[in-house]
Structure 1
Amino acid sequence: MRWLVVFAAVVVGCVASLPRDDAAITADLAAETAREVIRLRHEVAPTPVPPAPGGKCSNCDGRGYVGDQRVRVPCQPCGGDGVL
C-alpha cells in the first residue's frame, strides 16, 4: 500500500510518454498494471505481536481511559482497567 503513490506516478509518467497510435502497447501496460494491483492486494500484512497477559495496555498506558483532561472515554482494548 505504501508504494501505491510511487507506482501510480510511474504509471502516469509511462502512459504520458507512450505513442498515441499503438493500441498494443497501451493494452500491455493496462494488463501489467492490473497484474501489479492484484499482486499488491494479495500481499499478507504482518501479524502484530500480542501483548503479554497482565501487562500494561499500550493504548491508554495503563490509565484505563483515553482522551485529554476535559474529555475521557474508557479504553476499548483493556475495558477501562488499564491491564490486558
Structure 2
Amino acid sequence: MATPPPHGTPLPPGHELALLDRELAQLDARRAYLLARRDWLLRLLPPVPAPHGWAGHAPVPPARPNEASGPGAQNVLLTLGAVL
C-alpha cells in the first residue's frame, strides 16, 4: 500500500497520483476476488428455512424513501426556470 511520504518531503503530484491509481486497482482486484469467493461460499451453504412465525405473514415492502424533490420543489424550479 502506498504510504504518505515523511513530513517535509512531498511527492510530485503526478507520482503520487500514479501510486494511488495503482493501489486503487489492486483494491478493486482484491474486492472482486473476495466477492467471487463470497458468492461461491454462499452457494455451498444449504438453504435456511424462515424463522418460525414468519410463514403466515406476507413480506413487508421496503419503505419508500422521502423524495427530496416533491411537487412543491418542482413548482419552484419550474417557476425559476420560466423567470430565467
TM-score of the aligned structures, taking structure 1 as reference length: 0.37
Q: Report which of the two structures shows the higher radius of gyration computed on alpha carbons.
A: 2
TM-score of the aligned structures, taking structure 2 as reference length: 0.37
Greater fraction of residues in helix: 2
Greater fraction of residues in strand: 1
